[in-house]
Amino acid sequence: MNITLWIVQGILGVGFIFSGWMKAFQYDKAKTSWPWAKEVGRGLVFLIGIVELIGVLGLILPEATNIAPGLTPIAAFALAVVVLLGALFHIQRKEYKEIGVNIVFLVLALFVAVGRL
C-alpha cells in the first residue's frame, strides 16, 4: 500500500506543480490555457497557484523526510478542498467538461489523505 500511495502522491505532485507553477508564475500562459483565469483576476490566480505549490511540499516532504509525517494527510485534504472548490467554481460557470480533471484529482487526494492517516 505504501508504494501505491507514493505513486499517487507523485502523480498529484506533478499535476499540482504543473498547474500551480503556471497559475503563479506564467499568468499569460494560464490565461490562454484556462478561460476562467482571464475573468477572476491575476491576484486570485496567483494565490491559487501558490496554495497548490505549498500543498505539493506538504504532500511530499513530511512523509519523505519522516519529519512530521502527520502533515501529509493534512496537505492532501487541503488539496482536495482546493480541487473541490475548483469543481464547484466550474459548475457555477457551467464549464462541465472541466470537472473531470477535478474529480480525478479529488479522488486521488482523498485516497492519499485517508491512506496516510
97 pLDDT band, cuts 50/70/90, is confident
Residue in 44, 40, 51 with CA at minimum distance from that of residue 83: 51
CB 102 within 8 A of CB 93: no
Predicted TM-score (pTM) of the model is: 0.92
Mean pLDDT, range 66-91, rounded to an integer: 96
pLDDT digits (tens, 9 = 90+) for 59-73: 999 999 999 999 999
Sorted by where each begins, the domain ranges of the chain are 2-116
Q: Are 4 and 40 in contact (CB under 8 A)?
A: no
- Rounded Cα gap, residues 62 and 103, in angstroms: 25
